[in-house]
Each structure stands twice: as structure tokens, then as C-alpha cells.
Amino acid sequence: LHILHVSSAQGVELIRRAKADGVPVTAETCPHFLFLSADDYDRVGPMIKVYPVIKEESDRLALWAGLKDGTLDFVASDHAPHTVAEKQGSLFEIPSGMCGVESMLPLMLGEVSKGKVTLPFVVRVLSENPAKLYGFSHKGAIAEGRDADIVIVDMLKRRTIRNEDLHSKQPMTAFNGMDITGWPIRTYLRGKLVAKDFDIVGNPQGEWISCPQY
């Protein structure tokens, strides 16, 4: 059993107990659950609407604890872009979801800069663990025979997450205005440079990869 988008302290505890009992369960959470709480609703506005809903600060802290002790196996972006127009209006009428793929790594690197987690931890929960879970033997590590998927980071680089810098069809994020120290500056996909200094390089290089586990 793999559980997506864990957002509550209760969920973390149930998964922790199940793993202790030998139940073959894995789970992930998302950046918005790790970096936002109900305290941010008024500040962020409708952009904060996601499913499951973002909960209390106590839930946020429990998710971090679960990620650090291995109860939660990895972090997934839950990238769900909408147009700017779609995200305007009543909180009860607009669609849920936000773009998350471009801000996920900077947010996690920011935690490294603050001394709250390590770079090996970030590699484990963003790359190594999901590759292992889904059976992508050619991904998740730098080694002979693996795909040369490599991200080079500058841990001294300080930059602000801004809507206008995003490359998604939805140039809006709940993290707009957040200052981060630690940014990816080069991204290689199968050995080919695809992003440099916050801009996309060349034409799309992505390929559909079927999951051998399912």
C-alpha cells in the first residue's frame, strides 16, 4: 500500500504504527504540507487551496518528524497547475492545486541552509527513495550504468521565489516572495543540460517511463 499526500499528524501516526507492525506500507507528503499551515490562509489567499486541505501547525511539524524518522518515505511535488484566471474567486468555487515542481527543491535546500536537514537527506527523500519505491533502477543515484540525471546546486545562492519567474502554465505559487538560500543552478537529464541559471535550455527532452512495479 502506498499512501499519497499525507497531510495530518494522525495520518503520520497511523502509518508509523502500521510499519512497526510489519505492514508493507509506504507514504509521501508534499511541500505545501511541510511549509504551510492554517496560519497562512489569510496571507496566501485562494492559492493555498489544495486537496487534502492544509492543516494546523501541529500537523506540519508532525509531517517533518515523520519524514525525518522514515515514517514518510519521500516528498512529491503534487504539481497541479491552473491558469491565473482559474485560481481567482471564491475559495469554495475555484479548483484546488498549485504548481509545485519548480519550487520543491529550493524549499528543501533552504532547510539545509538553516541547518534543519542535510543534503544527503534531501537526495534521499527527493530522488533515491522514490526511484527505489517505483522500481526505477536506472534513476535515483549517480553510478555507472544509471541515467546521468544530475542537479548541481549552489548552497550560497540567495534568491526569492517569484510568480513571474516560474515556467509553468500557472505563474502563481503560495510561496511567492519567500527568500531561499540554496538553489539548483544546472540540471542534466540523461547527461544533457536542460536547465541553467533558472531558465530552460533547448527543447523538451522528457520521455514517458512506465512503472515496472505495477
Residues tagged active-site = 78
Provide the 10 A C-beta neighbour count for residue 118: 11
What residues contact residue 173 under an 8 Å CB cut-off, 6+ apart? 47, 98, 99, 100, 103, 161, 163, 166
CA distance 5 to 28: 6
At residue 46, the 3 state secondary structure works out as: helix
CA distance 163 to 171: 5
Side-chain-side CA neighbours of 96 within 13 Å: the count stands at 9
- Between the CA of residue 32 and those of 23, 76, 99, 163, what are the distances in Å? 27, 10, 10, 16
